[in-house]
Structure 1
Amino acid sequence: MELSGNLSSKLGRLSNLTILNFMWNNISGSIPKEIGNLASLELLLLNGNQLTGPLPEELGYLPKLDRIQIDENNISGPIPISFANLNKTRHFHMNNNSISGQIPPELYKLPSLLHLLLDNNNLSGYLPPELSKMPLLRILQLDNNNFNGATIPASYGDMSQLVKLSLRNCNLQGEMPDMSRVPELLYLDLSSNKLNGSIPPDRLSENITTIDLSNNHLTGEIPINFTGLPHLQRLLIANNSLGGSIPSSIWQNRTLNKMENFTVELQHNELSNITGSTDLPPNVTVWLQGNPLCSNPNLVQFCGSESEDESKSQGPTNNKSLCSCPPSYEDSPTSDGCACAAPLLVGYRLKSPGFSDFLPYKSDFEGYLTSGIDLVLHQLHIDSFEWEEGPRLKMYLKLFPENNLFNDSEVQRLVNLFESWDIPDKPIFGPYELLNLTLLDVYKDAIPTPQRSSLSKGALAGIVLGAIAGAVTLSTVVFLLILRRHVRKINAITRKRRASKASMKIDGVKFFSYGELATATNNFNSSTQAGQGGYGKVYKGILVDGSVVAIKRAQEGSLQGEKEFLTEIELLSRLHHRNLVSLVGYCDEECEQMLVYEFMSNGTLRDNLSANAKDPLNFAMRLRIALGSAKGILYLHTDANPPIFHRDIKASNILLDSKYTAKVADFGLSRLAPVADIEGIVPTYVSTVVMGTPGYLDPEYFLTHKLTDKSDVYSLGVVFLELLTGMQPISHGKNIVREVNIAYQSGMIFSIIDGQMGSYPSEGVVKFLTLALKCCQQETDARPSMAEVVRELESICSMMPEADAITADHMFIDVEKVVTPPSSSSSTVKYPYVSLDVSGSNLVSEVTPVIKPR
């Protein structure tokens, strides 16, 4: 669809709108609170965009809302308590965002809620036991949050309608709840927590397909209750402290057909023996590596190397064509012979299925879906399927007509079924989402033009047209667009008249005409594009004097008012430091806003840390980049006039020039630091709406909206962890701070160091990583000041072996020393469970060993 820009507050005027559908675009900005005025709204579909900011409290007062999908955005802030008023809502899909704070216990009041998907966020606090009172809740999925050592409420074992409970990697502790009283339970994942005690001995639901208790602290023996579960596909209890014998009855009494597999993973426990037969039935796999029983030569078959589970791989199912068909037609599976037909193409995803292996349920799924859309079974063909992170199951479907073509009314009926979410739910398959629905050329006239636009574009001129919006709504949209265009033309003329006068007011910054910058970029040819962000595109330009510059061109939705734009330029014109990207000039005419910067030939730090980087950075280079970045930010905090909090420090906002000098860039989200009041007292923070980039945001800033200089320290600490590990801040649901902390606690620091870095001095790496973790402390006061960061980095640089230091100094000439005042901030890392010398305990006095990459 490729829509960009922001959602307009004028959406709140579409009083008859029932479906607001902006899925899978590049829309940024926040969700307008005015959407809360849409009393008729039933589907709010905003997933798969770049939305930021908090969830408006006003959304909690939509009386008819059935489904809220905001997943896969950058939404931050807490879940509003007002959401407890959504009596008609059945689906809360808010996964893969940066939502923080406590899950409101008031949500238990929701009488219709079926699916609560909040995985991959920044939630904290405790797990509300009140959620067990939800009468219809089938799926509770909270993976990859941080509940700060909370326990799993015992009442979760009383949720009679629950089909799936997934609490993976949530920093939970305490004992595992007894889930034997949940008769419909299909999927239980409590892995990667700190659960202790024994596994409850009572028998689980006979329908269960997946039990994952791996990576905990469970003790005791493996209970016999895992025997006789006819649909169990995966039993995973690896990396615990279980002892005693393994009852082979777990897998011996299973009769599997050729489509079924059963995997048992019990690696790295304290298991000493197998009770019963050691013969494995067909399609059963048992892994026991890392247990004492592997010393028994009779059990070696269970202790070999592991391989990837085939059920997780892609599963293409398309058949070879029997005949040659014209364009848009394929060999139809509805006929035994050669018959060409034109299918409808559907991208489809199961967001939280109740199984781990799809093949045994493939036939059931085909029957379920064809029944739901009123087709015959042979009209559905699953072209391919694959498992994604989550785990979620993505598939590509083809719907074939009984003859060679669907008629227009049938195409309209099928399209409406998918787009209106009218296909009934089935617990085993969980909620679904439509990824795309493609109409081939032969169906181009089947959907009326406005609706076809909503399918191919997802919107009509920036506002998704719901099927029931009607002619009145369409007229309103067209009128607003015409009015907006007219106003834009007037503003363009006004800007053009005033631009030359305005440019004279900013000393030291050159005003460029639109024509000059168009010439410098060959009329903004795509070949000159050097990057892109939420604000617009960046072009490499060559000015008439031969100098190379970077031109940041704001897109339509990111334009500021002229006064605000010139104020920002005036502020940038006063920032002068060798570790800040220099502003050369600007353009404000022809309805354009552009900033012209010095060109940084080696791109962003993020690009240089990627696996595709042509010249990997060694440790000395990374250390000097860290120091240069810290000095640039220290200048903003202490020497800029007025001082500035950057608010969006990240690896992609640190640029490298031809000598790999680090320069901090992109001050679009910056805020002025607080100034003294009339009594001479300087506040320690600025109250502001939370903005920034997920993974880099200060947790306390998230919770309190109080922006301080320590917020920038936290973000820079994340960049330091990227420099050391090469990982991204958030990837596949894993948070870099959490992952490095885990390695730090276990004394496995060197296992996570970026292999592209080459050899490095271990003592320097340990000190650098310790500093990074200090910066990333949860509590603001526990973090060092930016001056302390600079001082520590200079100290680490002074330890570098002579050869590396010379190489680094050649690229970073005249790095000035920073004199820093004593700070009252604590600089001690608060890790009571590990001493700071764990990873460096093997260091020899006065010798700095060099470690080669693993």
Structure 2
Amino acid sequence: MINIPTSLFLLLVLSCILQVSSNGDAEILTRVKRSRLLDPEGNLNDWLITGDNRNPCNWTGITCNSQNDAVTAIDLSDYGLFGGFPYGFCRIRTLINITLSKNNLNGTIDSSPLSLCSRIQVLILTGNIFSGKLPEFSPEFRNLLVLELESNLFSGEIPESYGKFTSLRLLNLNGNSLGGIVPAFLSNLTELTRLELAYVGFEPGPIPATFGSLTKLSNLHLTNSNLVGEIPDSIGNLVSLVNLDLAQNGLTGEIPESIGKLKSLNQLELFDNKLTGKLPESIGDLTAMRNFDVSQNNLTGELTEKIASLQLVSFHLNDNFFSGELPRVIALNPNLVEFKIFNNGFTGTLPRRFGKFSGLTLFDVSTNKFSGKLPPHLCYGKRLGNLITFGNRLSGDIPESYGECGSLNYVRMADNKLSGLVPVKFWELPLTRLELSNNQLQGSIPSSISNARVLSQLEISGNKFSGEIPVRICDLGELRVVDLSRNRFSGSLPSCINRLKNLERVDMQENMIAGEIPSSVSSCVKLTELNLSYNRLRGGIPPEIGELPVLNYLDLSKNRISGEIPSELLKLKLNQFNLSDNKLSGKIPSGFQQDVFKQSFLGNPNLCATDMDPIRPCRSKTEPRLILVISVVCIVALIGALVWLFIKTKPLFQRKPNRTNNVTIFQRIEFTEEDIYPQLTEDNVIGSGGSGLVYRVTLKSGQTLAVKKLWGGPGRKPESESVFRSEVEILGRVRHGNIVKLLMCCSGEEFRFLVYEFMENGSLGDVLHSEKERSAVSPLDWTTRFSIALGAAQGLAYLHHDSVPAIVHRDVKSNNILLDHEMKPRVADFGLAKPLRREVNNGVSDVSPMSCVAGSYGYIAPEYGYTSRVNEKSDVYSFGVVLLELITGKRPNDSSFGENKDIVKFAMESALCYSSPSPEGKAMNQDSLGNFRDLSKLVDPKMELSTREYEEMEKVLEIALLCTSSFPISRPTMRKVVELLKEKKALE
């Protein structure tokens, strides 16, 4: 018998126990992987129990205790996993950390099986798709230190059990759509160092005053959490705070003086609230603070020397009502990097030493009342990127030192009194935008501007610039906007303009430009606006302009242009069109012989038209014999041509149909394709797009049709094929009074066309935004706008909820809502529409992801930027934008909204602003805070609203803002939108 020492025996036993335990953990892990997780990328392929792979401590994502190989942590972050919550992991008795962030895990988390995890200290589930109510935690979770559930789809109120985590150090619920208000019971978590409740859809509620007991907090993050009321004085008790972020809420009142007690504060974010009064002097005591942002409030008063002396890195006071001069000491700050004080009432001169002692990167003092000269040392640190000073009273020269600032990429100095020559090197800087409009600058554009290779916007209108436009400007391949209007430029337009493939807008009106319009402009296929009016241009209008696919603004008036008007211009879909006061001659193309275009041709005495008073008629009665002779000759020639054409081509408009044509009829009709072919002529074109031309066809019976002829032949565009297929597949089976009717389609080898019912009043976008006078449509009253909104909502609700399969439109916008003779709306243009395939996983119905972004700029939902999971809620967002268009009468990206602001942001700010009692003629409602809201700046001035209509409009605004919520889960369904609109209509 062998004697084994006791110590060695115990060591062998312990080793066996640990080996068994390790094998058991491995079995748990592999079982959970098989039953609860899907690993399409194969990141967990090493989770296998094999001869040499029995210890899970070597597996991906597993951390063990180095002394005994016990599994302590599972971190599977960003591994592309699918499935539900893996409760089984908690059967590992030594496990204290579960981190599953940035995956595709979904479903609800049930409190009963979750009780297995009561030993857990760290639970991190951020960036998944978990839904339902927040999980309940039993009292056994007394050891929980970190709970992070950020960026999921959780809803409902925060459970009271969350106030009983006595050891919790970090609570993060950011980015969920929670209900209720910020609960006061969270003040029981006295060990908290971080509290994250940002971007949460709470109901309006205050910051609990009891939060003052959370004295260990270093981070309090309550951004965009629907907070209202005043900031409590108890905030000053949070003496450990390093970061206080209460931005993007509805906080009111003054900033409390007690905030000056937060001596450790590094960052204070209070922007985008409704705070009033002066900045408390105690803010000057926050000497550790580096980032300070109180922008977008209603703050007043002057900037004191004490606050200006803070050694801040970012100093943001923009969009308030501050006044007075800037203390000179502010320019001595060695840390200053970002300085934003735009949209205030500051006066006096800018401190001369700005930038001399710090590495400024952003300097924005626009829209104030500053005078005097520009500070010469702004780029002393060679880091300045954005220089924005527009909308002041600044004078003098642009400093030569600015031309040496190679870091500059964005300059806006318009609407001042700057004078003198622009430094030559300033033109050569690597800028993306150069805006110097409406000053008193002079000189010429040097050829060396070609060095500004990334320049996208060149806006120098309203100055005294002269000389020729340099040919080297064509080297700037990134140019999108060129505005040289209201200067003294001469010479001719560079023929090399065809190299500027990204051009979208060209404004050169009110100069002395001569020569001819280069035909090469047709290569600028992104061009939407071309204004060359009030110049000295001569020659003819290049027919090639008609080939520009998206041009909608063409103004060539007040020139010396001659020749006939090219019929090719009929291909354009023009909102603004003006050829007046030139030397044009001949017959106006019949497609332009409409009252809406009458003003476009005045001042051309040699133009004629059939019946377009005061344009002279084309047929002269003074030479009937000559006309007779010409007529006979023309008739003979025409007969000969027709005979030749009949023999050679067997035309499409023969009564006998071509057997290769595939005709499909979707509605009861009394015409054939043969009735349509002859009328697909240039004179009947009423619009064009990326997929083809749209014609207005009037049959002999008097019925009017809209015919979309898609690009065909050998050069057929692939997008037109997709449009044809989508429209036929979807509209061919859809039947609803608010969706445009597809009557028939015809497809041949060289052409395809779709025939729709004709909408007499065009699109909602044209009616709301077109600058053309429309005799048939006066400005829409509110009753009509509401009716249009309700009808369009009902059409979309049908697509989402009643169509089988459900359909997402993907391009909802005002231009795709057509109006019949009674102004009844029809949702149209289904070229981007897709049927929704619903896949069921773990009992949860999900919409399968879209493969690519679709839609129109200004209407696209924000989630397109970070997820491919696109469903009906993207249409809901776009419809919310349409509602805002109906209320405001403005386009989604109207320039009046200001820099980087769209109609949603504009409406939100207008709806939240405060005002005294309403102006005469406008009804006012009191919101839940007892404050009056003045929406007069939001409402389309073309509408005259009664008190009842104003109240109804307010309710529709609420629906629009709900539809345009940043979070898809917060948006109502279209069926709910219809219900809400009908409820608002009940106000009558």
TM-score over 0.5 for the pair: no
Bigger Rg, structure 1 or 2: 2
What is the TM-score when the length of structure 1 is the normalising length?
0.45
Q: Which structure carries more relative contact order (alpha carbon 8 Å, separation 6+)? A: 1
Compute the TM-score of the two structures, normalised by the length of structure 2.
Answer: 0.39
